[in-house]
Structure 1
Amino acid sequence: MTRLRLGISTCPNDTFIYEALVHGIPGSKLTWDVTFADVQTLNEKVLRGELDVAKVSCGVLPLVQKDYQLLPCGGAMGYGCGPLLLSAKNPAAFQDDKETVLPGKNTTASLLFRFWYAKTQGGKTPQVSYAFFNEVYDGLLNGKNAQGVVIHEKRFTWQRDGLGLLMDLGAFWEAETASPIPLGCSVAKKSLGQSTIQAVEAEIRESLASAHSRLNLVTDFIRKMAQIPDDSVIEQHIRMFVTDFTRDMGVPGRKALEILAKHVVL
């Protein structure tokens, strides 16, 4: 048996994809020590080489590709699924004199905000700060933050909670690049060797197929891990972020990663 260190988030798309793998696929020659963490924390762990396999932000890929191999499956990529730039009040306008709170320095959401800002705000440098994704949202709700970029389950509750939409950063990316939005990707340490990496890829695909074969999208495991205990929100999340690109990113997905990489500061 080969024991590997896996890192994924607690978000419904990750737990949907990886549930069967985490619980153990019958006959598998792989066993897993699993770390559940915020995506920025996972990015940082991969930057330090602490995980063998992980789901990370596509924005961090250029920084780790020397030591990690991109896997064509298990990612989060698609259309109409990008992060949202929100304000604490609805309606509101973007306030360039106020900080924008981003969900982690290396997240794709932060890159997409900078991509939008560079294209629309006349070459200035944005004022930004960083927080965990749930803290970004809570700061908007309590008025601590004037504006911030929201991802994951919180993407589905902003209207209910009275926040304002300043920009759909994913829609802006699609309009500018004609490419799917490259949010997250799965990577494996190159030092594992190709035979083990191929086994990892096969296991991710089998785990995803197992999830799709179920009658119900939401399981107790996914519900327990989710930030919002609402099955309808969890289902929306899974349907939005688990796409055909999750099975295989293909040529369009790789093109999107190439475009995104041009905006990563190495």
Structure 2
Amino acid sequence: MDIVFSPCPNDTFIFHAWANGLIPNAPKLNVTYADIDITNKLAESGDGPDILKISIAALPWVHESYGFLPSGGALGRGCGPLILTQNVKKSVSLAGKKIAVPSERSTAYLLFRLWLSQHVPEGVKEICVLPFHEIMPAIRDGKIDAGLVIHEARFTYPSYGLRSLVDLGDWWEKETSLPIPLGGIIAKKSIDRNNIINWIQSSLDHAWKHPSASKSYVMEHAQELDWKVAQEHIDLYVNSFSYSLGVKGCYAIMVLLERAMEKNLIPPVNFSSLLINQIPINIK
């Protein structure tokens, strides 16, 4: 069974047991590690692997052969994307500036556009897409004015001499009182998705019961090689929503996509072919 997810600690922590053959009766996984921009494009093409980790914001473009799963994703509080700039004392306006984002289909970028519509109605000068590990060096070196970062960058940006201009997760939580939906797992509908959910949950159960077992696997793939940072990353992004979205998690996704549709930032969402937490979702 082919799967693609990021090399980030939260994904490798969740899938370590399954990827290493530790889940009884689960099929062998052929793992490809890829940046979120790549996985989002694979999902949109419809020619991707059996299982994919994608951005929640990419769901409107998911090919009809895929269904969304309630387990294995990233959703929580205090874990949102940051807008970073150089660490200067003067106030910074993003109007007319060049901004780097990790993917045009990322949830981070969708949140950024929702925030811009409220706070920078005149817009920015240019949006460019960079792999997320290249964004902070580009800000530091003055190649871009600001950047949208995710994952372990929340912990490491001060080492680049940068500052956080806006915490979009904090903004989202104050706006909605909901957790922030970042990423999720999709699987081809030709596969029994209930089995996949069970295998993901079994893999996560193993990770929680044996927290040190995945350390070498996590660090083998982590772009930030400091174990303390990797552990902070796991603690922040792997939580009860990773095991199962539940009603609150599903509602958070609906609110995000509804707001984006109201601003014409995404096409109309037809959830008739997607199933979230065994609950059909229809957004009008």
TM-score (norm 2): 0.87
SS at match of 1:6: strand
Deviates more, 1:23-32 or 1:256-265: 23-32
Aligned partner of 2:16 in structure 1 is: 19
The equivalences for 1:90-101 within 5 A come to 90-91=88-89, 92-101=91-100
Aligned partner of 1:238 in structure 2 is: 234
Report Cα offsets for 1:179-233 as digits up to 9, x if no partner.
11000111111122xxx21111110000001000114276111001001110110
Aligned residues of 1:90 and 1:162 also touching (Cα < 8 A):
no
Aligned partner of 2:86 in structure 1 is: 88
Shift of 1:141: 2.3
Aligned residues of 1:102 and 1:131 also touching (Cα < 8 A):
yes
SS at match of 2:193: helix
* Residue 33 in structure 1 maps to residue 35 in structure 2: no
Aligned residues of 1:87 and 1:94 also touching (Cα < 8 A):
no
Q: What is the alpha-carbon distance in structure 1 between the residues aligned to residue 237 and residue 231 of structure 2?
A: 10
Q: What is the alpha-carbon distance in structure 2 between the residues aligned to residue 150 and residue 163 of structure 1?
A: 12
2:209 to 213, 216, 225: 213
1:8 to 5, 10, 13: 5
Q: Which runs of 5+ in 1 are unaligned?
A: none
Q: Which runs of 5+ in 2 are unaligned?
A: 268-284
Shift of 1:26: 4.3
Report Cα offsets for 1:98-143 as digits up to 9, x if no partner.
1111111101110011011012123646631111111112211222
* Residue 223 in structure 1 maps to residue 219 in structure 2: yes
Shift of 1:29: 4.4
Aligned residues of 1:77 and 1:183 also touching (Cα < 8 A):
yes
Shift of 1:261: 1.6
Report Cα offsets for 1:1-20 as digits up to 9, x if no partner.
xxx21011000000000011
SS at match of 2:70: coil
Aligned residues of 1:218 and 1:231 also touching (Cα < 8 A):
no
SS at match of 2:158: coil
Structure 2 counterpart of 1:206, which letter? S
Aligned residues of 2:14 and 2:200 also touching (Cα < 8 A):
yes
TM-score (norm 1): 0.92
Aligned partner of 2:171 in structure 1 is: 172
2:247 to 251, 254, 259: 251
Q: What is the alpha-carbon distance in structure 1 between the residues aligned to residue 83 and residue 77 of structure 2?
A: 17
SS at match of 2:71: coil
Aligned residues of 1:89 and 1:164 also touching (Cα < 8 A):
yes
SS at match of 2:103: coil
1:68 to 63, 66, 69: 66
Q: What is the alpha-carbon distance in structure 2 between the residues aligned to residue 257 and residue 23 of structure 1?
A: 31
The equivalences for 1:50-69 within 5 A come to 50-64=48-62, 66-69=64-67
Structure 1 counterpart of 2:108, which letter? A
Aligned partner of 1:157 in structure 2 is: 156
Report Cα offsets for 1:146-171 as digits up to 9, x if no partner.
10001111121112322021100111
Aligned partner of 2:189 in structure 1 is: 190
Shift of 1:89: 2.7
SS at match of 1:185: strand
1:90/1:233 CA distance change after superposition, 3 Å? farther
Aligned residues of 1:7 and 1:42 also touching (Cα < 8 A):
yes
Aligned partner of 2:108 in structure 1 is: 109
SS at match of 1:216: coil
Q: What is the alpha-carbon distance in structure 1 between the residues aligned to residue 107 and residue 151 of structure 2?
A: 12
SS at match of 1:73: strand
Q: What is the alpha-carbon distance in structure 1 between the residues aligned to residue 122 and residue 92 of structure 2?
A: 19
Give aligned-pair identity as a percent. 35
Q: What is the alpha-carbon distance in structure 2 between the residues aligned to residue 155 and residue 191 of structure 1?
A: 38
Q: What is the alpha-carbon distance in structure 1 between the residues aligned to residue 128 and residue 158 of structure 2?
A: 24
SS at match of 1:80: coil
